[in-house]
Amino acid sequence: MYLSTIDISLILEKLILIVVVVSASLVVAMYTTFAERKVAAVLQDRRGPNRAGPFGLLQPLADGLKLFFKEEIIPNLSSKFLFILGPALAMLTACMTSAVIPWGDHIDFFGRNVSLQIADVNIGILYVFGVVSLGVYGIMIGGWASNNKFSLMGGLRAASQIISYELAMGISLIALLMITGTLSLKEMVVQQQGGFWNIVYQPLGFLIFLICSFAECNRTPFDLPEAENELIGGYHTEYSSMKLGFYLFSEYINMFISSVVMSTLFFGGYDIPFFDESVLSPNVAAILGIAALMTKTLIFIFLFMWVRWTIPRFRYDQLMHLGWRILIPLALFNMLATGAGVLYFN
Amino acid sequence: MSEHILLPEGSLEKQTTTLNLGPTHPATHGVFQNILELDGERVMKATSTVGYIHRAFEKIAERRALYQITPLTDRLNYCSSPINNMGWHLTCEKLLGVSTPKRVDYLRVIIMELARIADHLICNSIVGVDSGAYSGFLYVMQYRELIYEIYEEVCGSRLTTNIGRIGGFERNFTNAAFEKLEKFLDEKTGYPAQLREFEKLFTRNRIFMERTIGCGPISAERAKNYGFTGPNLRAAGIDYDVRHHNPYSSYEDFDFAIPVGTTGDCYDRFLVRNEEMWQSLSIIKQAYRKVQGFTGAEADVYHADVPAYYLPEKKDVYTKMEALIYHFKIIMGEADIPAGEVYHSVEGANGELGYYLISDGGRTPYRLHFRRPCFIYYQAYPELIQGGMLSDAVITMSSLNLIAGELDA
């Protein structure tokens, strides 16, 4: 009897949206690997990949193909099930995060109002956090199942790093939530469209969030879990073929998603600055909105790369020191200050 | 450094892990094995192994004529082979009692200082790479290429140079070589500009400083006891430099400073090496000016007059009896060397590189010993990394500039 109340076309619409969003984030991640190599090349006075296709544009495809055809090696003494589960989990959680991101406003599709968000759940940001936290299991399980000391150390580093930095990240977010009063990402964007972007209210919170995102994505200066010079490959030392590809790839998807989340939380999401979208037809506004969000995201992705190819990485104890003794107190202070501010102005 | 929580005896947390750092590990540039006992990430005890690329050079040298030993010295510290080559030639000249013309000395100084720069820039940029910053490495690497092109112009090869001969150089420097040198020295587009950029990237970089300050330190006293020399000793605060204290190849004609550190940690070693590159640049400029000062017949002098050990020109071999005899004797390794015992050392890029040569006459040395600075540093390595983190161990190894080829000889 409830079946009739479920709109079949809604299911269809959402399915299509899921396919589009997941494949879009995969493609973006793919070309992020390409961008990474090109950005690195520019920063290092090199040319970068330029052989496969025009300007080397087919390089990521070639890389993927190569990884698929590589021999798959599973160490004899590893725990086989977990060894495969590790990269699968990492990839899965990386792909799942995109579900609650509002990519744009509604579009009008032959009289049908289609929301450009897979699920506007009212706990959106909590969902992102939950799924991202699960991602560390992929790394830990992979590091442990490899039965290699370097992998194990990489896995342990990843676990302790992500747990430590998630705290500061969460606390910095609480301050933001005090202002917005909602956990829904869509709501937050709508609020920012009317007034100032959240970065204006939360500069310190954003800074903490940014630093923690670097740590969450295992990017320099927090790339200790895979510090090549110390741990060879870190948690993916023993991995080969596409399983290695999954690990590397999930890192880029995470980077993409973090950039999107940062743009959404602090930089107005699909909001176009200094411009009133309501004068445009909804379809044009939505497309321009997507473009705005993507531009912001790309700027963040570039920032990730710029930092990676410029500065050295922390040592393990310094990383912990920064996380627990600097970022968490700062985030707590930010939370108190914001709380006081909210109390005073309301 | 964080404080340790005290645990009761025999508790599970007190168990340590054994980790093999090397012989094949990205951090060990070369083949070193270090068996580390780790408590978490902290190094409790380290045991080093040597001998993975021991090629018995000292023994091989006992069967070779003097000029055939030069290629062996290439393969000691292959980041700065010209210094090794020159050191060996100077040792031979000391035994044979040959005195070289000033122009040869100055040309040698140019090549040796270029080699020192090549060595230091690799060492310092590798410290950067091992701390996670890769770009600086590629920035300076482009300029090592310019140095290698100069080698190429002078002797024809790049890495294992076999540059020079007993008594001087195999041929005069071409104009192209000097042009390349000028290109390298150019303040705006040459190495000085790049070195400044490199320093900007690292010297005051907060993360880099936190990583290297207090990492793998050694006191002046300990360093002396171990027999440290070169930048690693100077970083600990002792201003010992063979170029100044026991000048060879007319180093006394040059004006240069000897940078010293205070703590002997990785950061001081980094700074000392950077400053030494500046000093080397200044020495090269002085030497180049002096070389340009030679006129007339003097400007064409590129070797001493030692017919018994220096190969005659090919056209003389075809036309002159004497030249043919010397040519034959040298090529066949039949040039007898006088009996005697000499020790000569040069300031290698890595430290005091000494050659101890005993000859009982005949065509080959009776015994030849290389004093290899790396071998000495490596003995101190376990002590330097004890109590530090695993990451410190990696940085310390690259900052000591341990070169496997030199260590194992």
Q: Is A46 domain-assigned?
A: no
Q: Which one, of B331, B315, B334, B312, lies nearest residue B323 by Cα?
A: B312
> Could you give the 3-state DSSP secondary structure of residue B179?
helix
Beta strands at B42-49 and B33-39: parallel, antiparallel or unpaired: antiparallel
Q: pTM for the whole thing?
A: 0.88
Longest dimension (CA), chain B: 88
Region of poorest pLDDT, from A37-41, A297-301, B5-9, B32-36: B5-9
B88 close to B73: Cβ distance less than 8 angstroms: yes
A-chain residues near B189 (CB < 8 A): none
Tell me the pLDDT tens digit for each residue of B253-282. 999 999 999 988 999 999 999 999 999 999
Distance CA B277, CA B221 (A): 26
Write the CA distances from B360 to A23, B61, B340, integer angstroms. Answer: 79, 14, 6
B45 close to B384: Cβ distance less than 8 angstroms: no
Number of domains in chain B: 1
A-chain residues near B19 (CB < 8 A): 149-150
Distance CA B233, CA B401 (A): 12
Tell me the pLDDT tens digit for each residue of A131-150. 888 888 888 888 888 888 88
Q: Which of B132, B135, B210 sits opposite A227 (nearest CB)?
A: B132
- Residues in chain B, overall count: 409
Q: Is B322 domain-assigned?
A: yes
In which band, very low, low, confident or very high, does the pLDDT at B115 lie, cut at 50, 70 and 90?
very high
By percentage, how much of chain B surpasses pLDDT 70?
98
Helices within chain A (DSSP H only): 8-43, 59-69, 80-96, 124-145, 149-180, 185-194, 198-201, 203-216, 228-231, 241-266, 282-308, 316-321, 328-345
CA B147 to chain CA centroid, nearest Å: 15
Report CB contact under 8 Å: B132, A311: yes
Q: Is B3 domain-assigned?
A: no
| pLDDT computed for residue B51 by the predictor | 85
Query: Which CATH number covers residue B122?
Result: 1.10.645.10
Q: Which one, of B224, B226, B195, B32, lies nearest residue B120 by Cα?
A: B195
The token pair that represents B84 in the structure block: 């090794």
Tell me the pLDDT tens digit for each residue of B361-374. 888 899 999 999 99
Tell me the pLDDT tens digit for each residue of A98-134. 888 887 777 777 767 777 777 777 787 888 888 888 8
In which band, very low, low, confident or very high, does the pLDDT at B89 lie, cut at 50, 70 and 90?
very high
DSSP codes of every residue in B333-375:
T------EEEEEEEE-SSSEEEEEEEE-SSSS-SEEEEE-HHH
Distance CA B395, CA B15 (A): 25
* Phi, psi at B63, each rounded to 5°: -110, 10
- B201 reaches A (C-beta below 8 A): yes
Write the CA distances from A144 to A156, A281, B18, B310, integer angstroms. Answer: 9, 54, 17, 64
Overall average pLDDT of the B201-229 stretch: 90
Report CB contact under 8 Å: B142, A46: no
Q: Which residue of A has its CA nearest to B126?
A: A229
The token pair that represents B133 in the structure block: 């910053």
Distance CA A201, CA A209 (A): 14
In which band, very low, low, confident or very high, does the pLDDT at B405 lie, cut at 50, 70 and 90?
confident
Q: Count Cβ neighbours within 10 Å for each residue of A295-313 and write b for 16 or more, e otherwise.
A: ebbbebbebbbeebbbbbb
A218 close to A227: Cβ distance less than 8 angstroms: no
By percentage, how much of chain A surpasses pLDDT 70?
97
Strand partners, B72: none
Number of domains in chain A: 1
Distance CA A167, CA A153 (A): 22
B5: which DSSP letter? Answer: P
Which domain covers residue B192, as residue numbers?
57-408
B-chain residues near A40 (CB < 8 A): 135
> Could you give the 3-state DSSP secondary structure of residue B43?
strand
| pLDDT computed for residue B369 by the predictor | 92
Q: Is A191 domain-assigned?
A: yes
By percentage, how much of chain B surpasses pLDDT 90?
37
Neighbouring C-beta atoms of residue B187, cutoff 10 Å: 10
Q: Is A296 left (phi over 0), alpha (psi -120 to 50) or beta?
A: alpha
Name residue, tokens 């698929």.
A68
Tell me the pLDDT tens digit for each residue of B151-178. 999 988 988 888 988 888 888 888 999 9
Neighbouring C-beta atoms of residue B366, cutoff 10 Å: 15
Distance CA A164, CA B188 (A): 46
Longest dimension (CA), chain A: 66
The token pair that represents B27 in the structure block: 């951090």
Q: Which of B19, B130, B207 sits opposite A149 (nearest CB)?
A: B19
Mutation target to probe the A interface, by most A beta carbons within 10 A, among B36, B390, B397 is B390
> Could you give the 3-state DSSP secondary structure of residue B407?
helix
Distance CA B94, CA B106 (A): 18
The token pair that represents A288 in the structure block: 């321009």
Q: Is A22 domain-assigned?
A: no
- Taking 90 as the threshold, does the pLDDT of residue B109 lie above it? yes
Distance CA B312, CA B314 (A): 6
Tell me the pLDDT tens digit for each residue of A50-87. 888 888 888 888 988 898 898 888 888 878 888 888 88
| pLDDT computed for residue A96 by the predictor | 84
Q: Is B331 domain-assigned?
A: yes
Q: Is A18 domain-assigned?
A: no
For B192-230, give the secondary structure using H, E and C.
HHHHHHHHHHHCCCHHHHHHHCCCCCCCHHHHHHHCCCH
Q: Is A33 domain-assigned?
A: no
Distance CA A334, CA A176 (A): 10
Which domain covers residue A207, as residue numbers?
71-345
| pLDDT computed for residue B5 by the predictor | 65
Q: Is A28 domain-assigned?
A: no
Higher-confidence position of B158 and A270: B158
Overall average pLDDT of the B272-298 stretch: 91
Q: How high is the mean pLDDT of chain A?
A: 84
Q: Which residue of B has its CA nearest to A42?
A: B135
Q: How high is the mean pLDDT of chain B?
A: 88
Q: Is B6 domain-assigned?
A: no
B47: which DSSP letter? Answer: E
A261 close to A128: Cβ distance less than 8 angstroms: yes
- B130 reaches A (C-beta below 8 A): yes
Overall average pLDDT of the B79-85 stretch: 91
B-chain residues near A158 (CB < 8 A): none
- B388 reaches A (C-beta below 8 A): no
Distance CA A147, CA A137 (A): 16
Q: Is A173 domain-assigned?
A: yes
| pLDDT computed for residue A4 by the predictor | 58
Sign of CA dihedral B97, B102, B104, B105: positive
Name residue, tokens 């070779």.
B64
Cβ-based contacts under 8 A for chains A and B: 76
Q: Is B34 domain-assigned?
A: no
A-chain residues near B139 (CB < 8 A): 44-45
CA contacts within 13 A on the Cβ side of A53: 9
Report CB contact under 8 Å: B138, A220: no
| pLDDT computed for residue A5 by the predictor | 62
| pLDDT computed for residue B214 by the predictor | 86
Report CB contact under 8 Å: B132, A317: no
Report CB contact under 8 Å: B139, A44: yes
Mutation target to probe the B interface, by most B beta carbons within 10 A, among A315, A320, A324 is A315
Overall average pLDDT of the B100-106 stretch: 91
User: Which chain B residues in 147-176 lie under 8 Å from chain A, judged by CB atoms?
Assistant: none
In which band, very low, low, confident or very high, does the pLDDT at A1 lie, cut at 50, 70 and 90?
very low
Report CB contact under 8 Å: B132, A153: no
| pLDDT computed for residue B270 by the predictor | 93
Q: Is A17 domain-assigned?
A: no
Overall average pLDDT of the A35-42 stretch: 89
CA B251 to chain CA centroid, nearest Å: 17
